Amino acid sequence: MIFSQVSQAPADPILGLTDTFKADNRAHKVNLGVGIYKDEAGQTPVLKSVKKAEAKLLEIEKTKNYLGIEGVQAYNQVVQTLLFGENSELVKQHRAVTAQAPGGTGALRVAADFLATNTTSKTIWVSNPTWANHQNIFETAGLTVKQYQYYVAATHDMDFDAMLADLDQASAGDIVLLHGCCHNPTGIDLNIEQWKLVGQLCLEKSLLPLFDFAYQGFGAGIEEDAQGLRAVAKVVPELLIANSFSKNFGLYNERIGAVTLVAEDKATAERSFSQIKKTIRSNYSNPPAHGGLIVSTILADDMLKAEWEAELAEMRERIAQMRTLFVDSLKAEGVSQDFSFISRQNGMFSFSGLNKEQVNRLRDEFAIYIVGSGRISVAGLTKDNMPAVCKAIAQV
């Protein structure tokens, strides 16, 4: 038999955890693994702005005809505005091309396939640590993954000098994966001066930045979170961006994101886009329409846009409150270790410093699910589950 030789693949470190969580019968279980926003009631509701856009689409939609390979034109334009801002020079110069993609993961995979077949270097540098799926995606596409130092466990902070020193070892043409904001899993981002230095290093060494931008609006705000990307785009002639609207529009299962390429001039951008489209055609032909239509409908309507911005701010602020409450509650439970670094981190995640043994005890003894690296999805914490979570952490 042919299939009898197929070996068992290891469970995904994050989604595999969700499967185990679902199978757990304990009523008090808490999932702090997967990066999904939960409100104070522990729910992940559809945003009101999304529901209204969907009602509008139901009225006006006339066909389910195929989209073009690159997706909805109006969507691709609003993506560029979110990434680069209104009145962006590089957009005006037609140096940016965007294709709608199935989620941030789909965008990363299209970018990786494009790079693997169209550029000279096949090496991509990712932060240590990074989102667990990065290595998977890039290696499957045929790229070689190397790591640059990012996080230092002892200080619960990043080591920027070490990051630059590692990237200084990269060869011309190598790709550098950068988290646009809300670094996953550490929650520690570069400041604007550091972003400029990274851009400068990429320029001097001819490295190609690939931004993974999955949390725009979850850090300080929609515009604020794009400052790093825009600073680098000002310095380097070429870059790629894979962005996702899973989190900031709550469109997880609509699989909506985009891949954007910036080239030194319009002609190069268009030629490169033909290769991106070729990659898409051989992968999934053209993207599903619904998610892109929701996003473009919201962003084209001032009222819906304002409502979405308010809903996004509410998510961002709730997570920030949970960070403060988490730090205070751990202290109140008598945990002597200083966890104040958690309130300085950005976005959905916190690198708690809990080790594998502690993570396993939290799961087995207390039904609290955390990724093996100690990464906590702060968005899964609520005022209701906080006391139990902090008591359990105090015990382990």
C-beta of 184: minimal distance to ligand PLP in Å? 4
Residue 378 is given by DSSP the state: G
Give the span between the Cα atoms of 159 and 166, in whole angstroms.
Answer: 11
C-beta of 395: minimal distance to ligand PLP in Å? 29
Q: Which residues contact 345 (CB under 8 A, 6 or more apart)?
A: 186, 187, 188, 323, 351
The footprint of ligand PLP (CB under 6 A) covers 35, 103-105, 131, 184, 212, 214, 244, 246, 257
184 vs 279, beta carbon nearer ligand PLP: 184
Q: Using CA atoms in the order 225, 230, 236, 238, what is the torsion angle rounded to 10 degrees?
A: 90
14 vs 67, beta carbon nearer ligand PLP: 14
Query: Quick one: tokens of 383?
Result: 């005022």
Residue with tokens 């790591």: 147
C-beta of 109: minimal distance to ligand PLP in Å? 9
C-beta of 131: minimal distance to ligand PLP in Å? 4
211 vs 326, beta carbon nearer ligand PLP: 211
C-beta of 236: minimal distance to ligand PLP in Å? 21
Q: Which residues contact 213 (CB under 8 A, 6 or more apart)?
A: 83, 104, 179, 180, 181, 226, 229, 241, 242, 243, 244
Residue 341 is given by DSSP the state: G
248 vs 382, beta carbon nearer ligand PLP: 248
Annotated catalytic residue: which of 212, 225, 277, 308? 212
C-alpha distances in Å from residue 387, one per residue of 179, 290, 364: 32, 40, 18
Give the span between the Cα atoms of 179 and 42, in whole angstroms.
Answer: 27
Annotated catalytic residue: which of 52, 247, 277, 308? 247
- Contact, 158 vs 150, CB < 8 A? yes
User: Which string of b and e fits 237-274 if b means at least 16 CB within 10 Å?
Assistant: bbbbbbbbbbbbbbbbebbbbbbbbbbeeeebbeebbe
The angle that helices 160-167 and 192-205 make with each other, rounded to 10 degrees, is 10
329 vs 345, beta carbon nearer ligand PLP: 345
186 vs 329, beta carbon nearer ligand PLP: 186
51 catalytic, yes or no?
no
C-beta of 346: minimal distance to ligand PLP in Å? 12
35 vs 71, beta carbon nearer ligand PLP: 35
Three-state DSSP at 322 gives helix
104 vs 187, beta carbon nearer ligand PLP: 104
Phi, psi of 238 (to 5 degrees): -140, 140
161 catalytic, yes or no?
no
Q: Where are the beta strands (DSSP E) in 245-312?
A: 257-262
Round the CA-based radius of gyration of the chain to a whole number and report it: 21
C-beta of 246: minimal distance to ligand PLP in Å? 4
Q: Using CA atoms in the order 394, 12, 21, 331, what is the torsion angle rounded to 10 degrees?
A: 20
Could you give the count of Cα atoms lying within 13 Å of 334 in the half-sphere of its Cβ?
5
Q: How many CB atoms lie within 10 A of CB 41?
A: 8
C-beta of 256: minimal distance to ligand PLP in Å? 7
212 catalytic, yes or no?
yes
Annotated catalytic residue: which of 38, 125, 131, 189? 131
Active site residues: 131, 212, 247
